[in-house]
Amino acid sequence: MTTKAGYEQVLDGSDTNVAQFERRHHTVLERVQHILHNNPTFVPVIVLMLSLVAFWIIAGGRFFSAFNLSLIMQQVSIIGMLAAAQSLIIITAGIDLSVAAIMILMSVIMGNLAVNFGVPPTIAIIVGVIGGMLAGAMNGLLITKIKLPPFITTLGTWSIFFALNLWLSGAQSIRSQDIDEHAPLLKFFGNAINVGGARITFGVILMIVIFVVLWYMLNKTAWGRHVYAIGDDMEAAEMSGIRTERTLVSVYMLAGLVCAVAGWASIGRVGSISPQSFYEGNLQSITAVVIGGISLFGGRGSIMGALFGALIVGVFQSGLRMAGVDVLWQVFAIGWLIIIAVAIDQWIRRVSA
């Protein structure tokens, strides 16, 4: 220390300890808060376990059978895939209201091409998947180039994609028999393997594969770190050398791709192609993401949380139905789940070091 300004000379004699605060004994609650802050997926995992046990007790063995649990997986598979796409967007601090609309539009395109126009199903599926990426690119470009807020952009594209879907389909469903006759490949994800009473559809396997691949991309690649950095602090990400616009567009395109693949899987799940199906898919995907502990403010949470979030919703619906509770109370319960999930997220964020 050579040329210290005069008034700082006294620092040499100063106390060299950094500010010490009384080391208060951490309460159990504070420790829990810390653990949850470091591991954001713990909450949904615990809630999922508890709800499984609770409904086992309430609704009995029929609920906890291999068949029923695999049925819950089937029921959440499509919303689960949409939630995976939604998670990508929400981690960047955005929101995508058009996920379900992209999914339905692409399933209608695939169905129309393959069933009504005699295009080979493989080509129809490829066109649909590329269409999903283009729809995502449209969202991404509007958000990055024209600087529109994601909420407004996707509110608009939701209507646009939904209208296109009604126009292309003539508001008509494509019947199951017609799909079987012309393009059985479209129903590929409805196939299942049966193991000990459980019926695992290919759609369920696809959903899990999608989550694992996206988890890998988000956590083990530079692209994934950039996605989190953008959601955390866009300006800081830009200044530390991330090409934020390009990354954001890629996120929306990837989400669009996942939605299109979900569209293909939905044909196997539903059996037919209906332009009116999954109309609440957007909100259900956001519900799964929020219950899964992914912060709506971006940059925090694991995509696996969305999988658990979707499963929690499925478990509640199935369990309450089996316990003989009216449907309206299922909706009521999901509402509380959302509010509690966000409240817990806020509490965890207030963690003190």
Partner 1 sequence: MTPVVSAKGIVKRYGHVTAIDHADFELRPGEILAVIGDNGAGKSSIVKAICGATVPDEGEIQIEGKPVKFSSPIEAREMGIEIVYQNLALSPALSIADNMFTGRELRKPGFMGKFFRMLDKPAMEKFAREKLTELGLMTVQSIKQPVETLSGGQRQGVAVARAAAFATKFIIMDEPTAALGVKESRKVLELIKDVRARGIPIILISHNMPHVFEVADRIHIHRLGKRLCTIDPKDYTMSDAVAFMTGAKEPPAQDTV
Residue 328 interacts with partner 1 (CB under 8 A): yes or no: no
What is d(CA 204, CA 190) in angstroms, rounded to the nearest whole number?
9
Quick one: 171 or 236, whose CB is closer to partner 1?
A: 236
Footprint on residues 82-101 left by partner 1 (CB under 8 A): none
> Contact letters (x/-) for partner 1, 8-47, by CB under 8 A?
x--x--x---x-----------------------------
Q: Which of 173, 233, 272, 334 touches partner 1 (CB under 8 A)?
A: 233
Number of residues that bind partner 1 (CB under 8 A): 31
Task: Locate 171 and state its tokens.
Answer: 């508001």
Centroid of chain to Cα 266? 16
Please choose, out of 120-128, 233-241, 274-282, 327-335, the segment that lies near partner 1 by the rule CB under 8 A: 233-241
Instruction: Report the interhelical angle of 244-270 vs 99-111 (nearest 10°).
Output: 60
Between 146 and 353, CB nearer to partner 1: 353
SS3 content of the chain, % helix, strand, coil (to 5): 75, 5, 25
Count CA atoms within 13 Å of residue 84 on its CB side.
29
Nearest to residue 105, comparing CAs of 89, 120, 86, 127?
127
Question: Does position 215 bind partner 1 by CB under 8 A?
Answer: no
**Of 67 and 216, which CB lies nearer to partner 1 in the complex structure?**
216
204: how many CB neighbours lie within 10 A of its CB? 24
Q: Which is nearer to partner 1, 234 or 325 (CB)?
A: 234
Task: Return left, alpha or beta for 135; rule: phi > 0 is left, psi -120 to 50 is alpha, else beta.
Answer: alpha
Q: What is the dihedral of CA 304, 309, 310, 316, to 10 degrees?
A: 150
Indicate whether 216 belongs to the interface with partner 1 (CB under 8 A).
yes
Where does this chain touch partner 1 (CB under 8 A) — which range of 61-69, 112-120, 238-246, 274-282?
A: 238-246
Residue 245 touching partner 1 (CB under 8 A): no
Q: Which spans of this chain sit near partner 1 (rule: CB under 8 A)?
A: 1, 3-5, 7-8, 11, 14, 18, 216, 220-223, 225-226, 228-229, 232-233, 235-237, 239-243, 299-300, 353
